[in-house]
Structure 1
Amino acid sequence: MKAPDPKDYPNSMAFLQDITSKLRGPEGCPWDKEQTHSTLVPYLIEESQEVVEAILKENEEHMKEELGDLLFQVVLHSQIASERRSFDLDAVAKDVAEKLVLRHPHVFDPENEQLSSADEVLANWDRFKEKEKQLRQKTEKTKSILSEVPETFPSLLKAEKFQKKASKAGFDWNDIKGVEEKLTEELNEFLEEIRGIKDPSSNQIRIEEELGDLLFTIVNLGRKLGVSAESALTRTNSKFKNRIEYIETRLQESDRKFSETPLEDLDILWNQAKQVQNKTSSNPLEEKQSITSDLIRVLSSFIVWKPSKEAEWPKAFLFTFQSAEYSLVFSAFGSMTLLPNSDPWGRKAQPIFYLNLSDPNARIWEDLSGNSYKTGEDIHEAILGSIRSYKKALAGSEPI
């Protein structure tokens, strides 16, 4: 097939659409032709995350590239849908354009009330969304107890949220023993699926299903123990990364390559890395730094922020909530401070919310009122609650 010439198309979108169609066509790419909406989900998530990373790094050249990759996902999904005569890219664009016009009457309807601030726009937007939601509910089934859990949450976090919602509705084990028994059951079922299999791909669906059940139960066990699976895995990822980097450093010192080093030697270096890590973690200050870094990583799953300081410590991050900017500052000594970026009362940015690492062993954080927090989710909710209280006080012109 001859490569298409961009000059033959009225615009770049038409060029991209035609390329995508050809990739899915009879003479196209075997991989692209096999894809479905479901198989593309991991790539859609990955491309979205890479866009976010480029934005946070303020690298617009990289951002342009990643937005292109994300756009291809949109075009590819639309192409797949058009082949099934469900919808096409034009319908996608038309729907969102009509929605934007509908939700911006202050812009597109001269007779409508004019809105002068971003907060008013957001409030108006929420009213329209609520109306649309009510219209949908008239035709949809009764709302699920799980419907408020965002689909965009990472899978471990989503599993934990599902379980908490179900537990509040009364669907839960009475004690941890039930979860332990379930974990044993799921582990045995998983092992049964993989025993004696020479080619895992021959039973991929069942293996994936059983592995998912096992992971879901592990998350449930963590929830019962008051441990966030997302936080726990983040911490383990960090340990693994540090140990691999230690091995790489040692190998570089002896001018050796990782891929060419015998497994026995790698095991020795791995154990050395563990010993070094254990010695490091015995330092109280470094342990607090490690726990604080874990909290930063967990909160980054909830808050889209960007670093506002280059220094190693304290670490500061800037984020926007309800059209206002705030900073979260984390100290090396185990504290987190939430500050407004504006100072309407002239008090030089008095903290809105403060947390202190009260118990490093139990990884418990405590605010100035004595309330304890252990999970990133709880801390995130406390941050947003503090901002709402702060804004309410601002509206009443009374300092909090």
Structure 2
Amino acid sequence: MSELSSRKSQLEAFDRLLTIMDELREQCPWDKKQTLESLRHLTIEETFELSDAIIENDLNEIKKELGDILLHIVFYARIGSEKNSFDIGTVIDSLCEKLIRRHPHIYGDTKAEDEETVKQNWEKIKLQEKGNTSVLGGVPKSLPALIKAMRIQEKARGVGFDWEEKYQVWEKVEEEMQEFKEAFNAADDAEMDKERASGEFGDLLFSLINYARFIEINPEEALERTNLKFIKRFQYLEKAAKESGKMIEEMTLAEMDVYWEEAKKI
């Protein structure tokens, strides 16, 4: 791996990127057509690709995906400058000012000796800045539900609304599990009230996410790792079945389970 670049070379690289962005916007037919709206779904896709690279701990891929996201940032800023609204300079200056405001323990007289106090100060300052009537007002509506639950819980904790001990959180999980089991026992063939069941299941998931947060496990990341593990094992099952001359859709569950157990040992 080459030696990391100096601050001077980093600034030169950023200047080069801005120059290339200007040239592409002025000369490339595809880049000339793009708008804030047309780039939006591409930015979301790039963000998920970065997430994949982080989950896989692929540092080279992380570097590439960070570059793609940086391209989108300077692209948005270039379009903003065309609208006489903002440019990359005002974007960066605004960010710097926000970071200074939200770190009064570094740039002011506020005391913050631990991470939790820093988070609480951040949320309080953010609430004042945005003029929200609710601490939860800053949670994006379009976030996936699992991530949104995490952010809701984190923001509530930021103003002191949280359990004190992890055993209390687990007791809540068990309470929600028992309520769901009693009302919607899978062994009972009685007709289920799907709307009520969905609500109770949501309560159970919310409490599990809360417990995961409390013990510093990222539930979204944990679930994605399980997804990847399932995919790997299921694809082994498919491959092994094919090599044995079997059609997976014609196999019994017991037959498939043999290959599944093999996959678990890999």
TM-score interval for Structure 1 and Structure 2 normalised by the shorter chain: 0.5 to 0.7
Question: Per residue, is there more strand in 1 or in 2?
Answer: 1
Q: CA deviation at 1:381?
A: 2.6
Kindly indicate whether residue 65 of structure 2 is the aligned counterpart of residue 66 of structure 1.
yes
What does residue 106 of structure 2 align with? Answer: 107
- Pick aligned residue for 2:173 from 333, 336, 353: 353
Q: Is the CA contact 1:363–1:374 (under 8 Å) kept in the aligned structure 2?
A: no
Q: What root-mean-square deviation, in Å, do the aligned CA atoms of Structure 1 and Structure 2 show?
A: 4.3
Q: Is the CA contact 1:23–1:29 (under 8 Å) kept in the aligned structure 2?
A: yes
Kindly indicate whether residue 117 of structure 2 is the aligned counterpart of residue 120 of structure 1.
yes
In the superposition, the TM-score normalised over structure 1's length comes to: 0.39
Q: How many residues align?
A: 187
What does residue 16 of structure 2 align with? Answer: 15
Q: CA deviation at 1:12?
A: 1.0
What does residue 3 of structure 2 align with? Answer: none
CA distance in 1, matches of 2:208, 2:106: 33
Structure 2 CA distance for partners of 1:10 and 1:148, relative to 1, 3 Å: closer
Q: CA deviation at 1:11?
A: 1.3
Deviations 1:183-204 (A, max 9, x none): xxxxxxxxxxxxxxxxxxxxxx
Structure 2 CA distance for partners of 1:22 and 1:127, relative to 1, 3 Å: same
What letter matches 1:359 in structure 2? A
Structure 2 CA distance for partners of 1:389 and 1:100, relative to 1, 3 Å: closer
Q: Is the CA contact 1:373–1:379 (under 8 Å) kept in the aligned structure 2?
A: no
CA distance in 1, matches of 2:209, 2:150: 10
- Pick aligned residue for 1:383 from 188, 193, 208: 208
CA distance in 1, matches of 2:192, 2:47: 31
What letter matches 2:15 in structure 1? A
Query: Sequence identity of aligned pairs in percent?
Result: 28
What does residue 42 of structure 1 align with? Answer: 41
Counterpart of 2:36 in 1: which secondary structure? coil
Q: CA deviation at 1:62?
A: 0.9
Bigger CA drift: 46-55 or 65-74? 46-55
Structure 2 CA distance for partners of 1:152 and 1:75, relative to 1, 3 Å: farther
Q: CA deviation at 1:380?
A: 3.9
- Pick aligned residue for 2:140 from 141, 146, 150: 150
CA distance in 1, matches of 2:171, 2:60: 36
CA distance in 2, matches of 1:49, 1:373: 28
Q: CA deviation at 1:84?
A: 1.8
Structure 2 CA distance for partners of 1:151 and 1:69, relative to 1, 3 Å: farther
Question: Per residue, is there more helix in 1 or in 2?
Answer: 2
Q: Is the CA contact 2:149–2:206 (under 8 Å) kept in the aligned structure 1?
A: no
